[in-house]
């Protein structure tokens, strides 16, 4: 409950600066490599962290055959979700979702229809 309150406070305090920085982004519309708290802040739609102790940064979505995570309610990923048009074939169990260990591989769903 503390993190959402802190995020809200930060957004309120930085709102005036946001208007002056619309194209680059200060809180939202962040570029790849910029620090983030939630994926919604990133232009790419993926706020990624390498491990539980690292800072999260905006990253590119996963391409075909790269490791991925299914879309999550947490907003921060250890593996980014797939690019548009691809699906993340992963174990979608509740345990995997809670532990954030349900990684898979991005695949083109059209490939399965062609076979």
pLDDT digits (tens, 9 = 90+) for 48-81: 999 889 999 999 999 999 999 888 777 899 999 9
SS3 77: strand
What pLDDT was estimated at residue 75? Answer: 86
Residue 80 lies in a domain: yes
The answer to whether residue 51 sits within a structural domain is yes
pLDDT the model gives residue 23: 55
Predicted local distance difference test score (pLDDT) of residue 7: 55
**50 neighbors 70 (Cβ within 8 angstroms):** no
Ranges of H-type helices in 32-115: 94-99, 109-114
98 within a domain of the structure (yes/no): yes
Domain-embedded: residue 44: yes
In a domain, 31, yes or no: yes
Q: Give the span between the Cα atoms of 4 and 108, in whole angstroms.
A: 35
CATH number for the domain including 50?
Answer: 2.10.80.10
Domain of 53 in residue numbering reads as 27-113
**Distance of alpha carbon 12 from alpha carbon 7, whole angstroms:** 9
Residue 88 placed within a domain: yes
What are the CA-CA distances from residue 78 to residues 7, 74, 112 (Å)? 21, 11, 27
Among 3-17, 18-32, 47-61, 98-112, which is the least confidently predicted range?
Answer: 3-17
Residue 87 is assigned to a structural domain of this protein: yes
Question: How many independent structural domains does the chain possess?
Answer: 1
Residue 12 has what pLDDT? 56
Q: Which of 46-50, 73-77, 85-89, 106-110 has the lowest mean pLDDT?
A: 73-77
Separation CA 39–CA 47 (nearest Å): 4
In a domain, 103, yes or no: yes
Spatial separation of the C-alpha atoms in residues 86 and 3, rounded to whole Å = 32
Average pLDDT along the chain: 79
């Amino acid at each position: 409950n503390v993190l959402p309150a802190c995020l809200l406070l930060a957004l309120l305090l930085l709102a005036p600066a946001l208007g002056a920085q619309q194209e680059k982004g200060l809180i939202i519309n962040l570029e790849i490599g910029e620090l983030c708290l939630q994926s919604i802040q990133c232009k790419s739609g993926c706020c990624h962290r390498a491990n539980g102790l690292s800072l999260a940064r905006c990253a590119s979505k996963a391409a075909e055959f790269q490791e991925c995570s299914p879309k999550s309610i947490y907003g921060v990923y250890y593996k980014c979700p797939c690019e548009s048009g691809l699906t993340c074939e992963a174990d979608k169990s509740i345990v995997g979702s809670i532990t954030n260990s349900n990684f898979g591989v991005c695949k083109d769903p059209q490939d399965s229809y062609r076979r």
